[in-house]
């Protein structure tokens, strides 16, 4: 971990493979590729999820004057096998906006009781939080329906643009899938446990690519760098932003420190990052995004690249923050074993990192032989 200081700032990052036997690390990456193949979207999962999304979209748009869009991991194609589908219902009718969530709930409950429905609909819930959400299960896939939430569409476009910029045969998306699997299956750090949301996790992965300027042998090295950095990042004093670490004590000023101390080239250029805010301002001219004025400082702080006052991890409690940091630290130590173990043990070490993932979704691939 010689590239990372105790405060989480990076000194002079070098590709990990440069300091190792390349054949050795590539063997570990090959095993990782096999593992990702077990959990990444495939034709069958795409067809099934498209059918479910189309079914819900059709029923909503046939019943109300609105548009329905998918966002999140499903259209980004970074969902795990048991991931959900996120939809946002956009209506320009001011009269309909308030009543629409309850009317959509009523429509889904009607489908729930329809024995001739195309899909089995169950567990319809209406959550009247700050952002109204309808949750249900369609054909055993969890579906979340938001209303007039343009932010999710912006987030999707941003991550798609990041993938295009990285441009390494889908390395960015494959890395997200791997890191999500480690966080959600191995460490239980998923958003359903009020921990790290999929979008916040995506931004942290973008930060790693930004910091190391897209120099990776494969997704396993991205995971290594992710755990190496965020296990010792000084969360008590800094927020993570794509501009660089932002001092908590300088808020609401979000001026960032250089993320690298060697002034080396970073992946994301200033014009790319600046465009995020301009796009956001154009999409929300009348404050439709309910943006807050002050950054909600908590224990685990990640600044939204579209809205500097939005903390993507504001719901993480102090106890869950310690749980996340402990998991990152444990994961980083486990990853270090890959650097020193005998080469014949590499595959077994990768398997150990993803024991739960292989048990749940291994599809017959032997965890002992690969």
Residues 122 and 218 in one domain: no
Q: Angle of helix 151-166 relative to helix 270-283, nearest 10 degrees?
A: 160
Whether residue 67 lies inside any domain: the answer is yes
Say yes or no: 29 and 78 in one domain: no
Q: Do 102 and 204 fall into the same domain?
A: no
How far is it, in rounded angstroms, from Cα 109 to Cα 136? 9
**pTM metric for this prediction:** 0.90
Residue 131 token pair: 């952002």
**Are 165 and 104 in a shared domain?**
no
Sign of the CA dihedral running 154, 155, 159, 165: positive
pLDDT (0 to 100) of residue 364: 47
Tell which of 131, 148, 165 closes a domain: 148
In whole angstroms, what is the distance from residue 70 CA to residue 79 CA?
13
Q: Number of folded domains in the chain?
A: 2
- Model pLDDT, residue 368: 37
pLDDT of 122-170, one tens digit each?
Answer: 999 999 877 899 999 999 999 999 998 888 888 999 999 999 999 888 9
Q: Indicate the residue among 148, 182, 212 that finishes a domain.
A: 148
Does residue 132 belong to any structural domain of this protein?
A: yes
- Is the domain of 173 the same as that of 135? no
| Band of residue 15 on the pLDDT scale cut at 50, 70, 90 | low
Confidence grade of residue 262 (pLDDT, cut at 50, 70, 90): confident
Buried b (16+ CB within 10 A) or exposed e, 318-330: eebbebbbebbee
Which H or E run includes 137? Answer: strand 133-138
Query: Which residue matches tokens 């980004």?
Result: 76
Last residue of a domain, one of 148, 178, 196: 148
> Are both 35 and 68 inside the same structural domain?
no
184 DSSP 8-state letter: I
Q: Are 24 and 116 within one domain?
A: no
133 SS3 class? strand
Give the pair of three-digit tokens for residue 267. Answer: 């992946």
Residue 4 forms beta bridges with which residues? 10
Say if residue 121 is in the same domain as residue 199.
Answer: no
The range of the structural domain enclosing residue 70 comes to 43-148
Confidence of residue 294 (pLDDT cuts 50, 70, 90): confident
Question: For residue 189, what pLDDT is reported?
Answer: 85
Please, are residues 68 and 60 in contact by the beta-carbon 8 Å criterion?
Answer: yes
Mean pLDDT of the residues in the chain: 86
- What is the C-alpha to C-alpha distance for residues 310 and 24, in angstroms, rounded to an integer? 42
Q: Rounded to a whole number, what is the largest CA-CA distance in the chain?
A: 67
Report yes or no on 3 lying in a domain: no
Residue 17 is given by DSSP the state G
Contact 110, 122 (CB under 8 A): no
What pLDDT does residue 279 have?
Answer: 66
Structure confidence by residue, pLDDT tens digits, 97-116:
788 999 999 999 999 999 99
Give the containing element (helix H, strand E) for 274.
helix 270-283
Mean pLDDT of 199-206: 96
Q: Is residue 282 part of a domain?
A: yes
């Amino acid at each position: 971990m010689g590239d990372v200081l105790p405060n989480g700032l990076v000194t002079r990052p070098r590709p990990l493979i440069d300091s190792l036997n390349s054949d050795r690390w590539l063997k570990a990456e090959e095993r990782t590729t096999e593992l990702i193949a077990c959990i990444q979207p495939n034709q069958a999962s795409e067809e099934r999820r498209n059918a479910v999304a189309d079914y819900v979209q059709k029923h909503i748009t046939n019943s109300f004057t609105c548009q329905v869009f998918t966002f999140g991991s499903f259209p980004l194609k970074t969902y795990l096998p048991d991931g959900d589908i996120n939809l946002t219902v956009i209506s320009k009718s001011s009269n309909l906006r308030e009543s629409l969530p309850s009317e959509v709930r009523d429509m889904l409950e009607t489908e729930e009781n329809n024995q001739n429905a195309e899909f089995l609909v169950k567990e319809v819930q209406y959550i009247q939080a700050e952002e109204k959400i309808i949750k249900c299960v369609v054909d055993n896939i969890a579906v979340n329906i938001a209303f007039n939430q343009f932010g999710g569409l912006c987030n999707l476009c941003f991550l798609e643009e990041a993938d295009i910029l990285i441009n390494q045969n889908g390395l960015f998306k494959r890395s997200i899938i791997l890191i999500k699997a480690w966080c959600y299956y191995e460490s239980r750090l998923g958003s359903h446990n009020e921990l790290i949301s999929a979008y916040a996790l995506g931004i942290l992965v973008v930060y790693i690519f930004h910091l190391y300027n897209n120099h990776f042998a494969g997704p396993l090295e991205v995971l290594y760098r992710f755990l190496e950095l965020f296990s010792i990042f000084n969360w008590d004093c800094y927020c993570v932003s794509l501009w660089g670490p932002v001092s908590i004590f300088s808020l609401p000023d979000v001026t960032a420190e250089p993320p690298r101390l060697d002034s080396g080239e970073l992946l994301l250029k200033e014009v790319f990052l600046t465009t995020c805010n301009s796009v956001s301002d154009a999409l929300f001219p009348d404050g439709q995004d309910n943006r807050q004025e002050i950054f909600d400082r908590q224990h685990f702080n990640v600044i939204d690249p579209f809205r500097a006052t939005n903390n993507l991890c504001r719901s993480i409690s102090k106890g869950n923050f310690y749980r996340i940091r402990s998991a990152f630290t444990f994961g980083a130590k486990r990853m270090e074993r890959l650097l020193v173990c005998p080469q014949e043990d590499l595959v077994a070490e990768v398997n150990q990192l993803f024991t739960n993932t292989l048990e749940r979704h291994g599809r017959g691939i032997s965890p002992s032989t690969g």
